[in-house]
Copies of this chain bind each other. A is one copy, B any other.
């Protein structure tokens, strides 16, 4: 019985997110169907974490156990022959039995895309949040470092979420510009539900002058979701890489 780790890239536009559910097609369901088609086995896959409906992945990681005789180096190719074009297996790797895509993960890297053109580009309509109102990048850049390090991120978690510990560590937060696109890169040891999108929404409100950069430490310390910014739309978010 092999324990296989597979790295996936997907366009989340047409799916109800990662996790299997009744009323929507999901990435997990498509991958499990493709695995059944190539191995004949009913395999339950485990992702490094859920992605919401509309969120994309360049490097989502999953693992599963299989008795299949398909060689590891041909597994991604075989899977792609049964997957839709908007989900691709990038590579497969045989792992020790104890490897778990979620529990073994050390950290995760995301980026978020903002289309700053006056008119929203047809080519980013599914892959960026369009904001034609200018952003004060200096204010955003000044504010972003407040997020670095270990903090209680309770104010940056979707209301109604149920977790015991809300302390997380952010290792990297950077803004990069690529013509009309602004990318916000966020890496950390773990993320609460909607945390990246609320951090982005808060940085955008700082960029629009609705929240003052100097108030960000107070917002974090308040642990009050209402004081942070709105949740940025799902379509701008990309899970870039999971580190082990």
Residues of A bordering B, CB below 8 Å: 9-11, 56, 76, 80, 85-90, 119-123, 125, 127
Contacts and interface: CB of A to CB of B under 8 A. Distances in A.
Contact of A9 (B87, B90, B121): B121
Copies in the complex: 2
Contacts of A119: 9, 76, 80, 88-90
State the main secondary structure of chain A at its contact with B: mixed
Nearest to A76: B119
B122 A9 contact: yes
A230 B69 CA distance: 39
A122 B89 contact: no
The 4 closest A-B pairs by CB, nearest first: A11-B122, A86-B122, A85-B125, A88-B119
Contact of A85 (B10, B56, B122): B122
Nearest to A118: B90
22 contacts: A9-B121, A9-B122, A9-B123, A10-B122, A11-B122, A11-B123, A56-B122, A76-B119, A80-B119, A85-B120, A85-B122, A85-B125, A86-B122, A86-B125, A87-B122, A88-B119, A88-B120, A88-B121, A88-B122, A89-B119, A90-B119, A123-B127
Nearest to A130: B85
A111 B123 CA distance: 15
A123 B9 CA distance: 9
A11 B120 CA distance: 12
Contacts of A11: 122-123, 125
A20 B58 CA distance: 38
Contacts of A87: 122
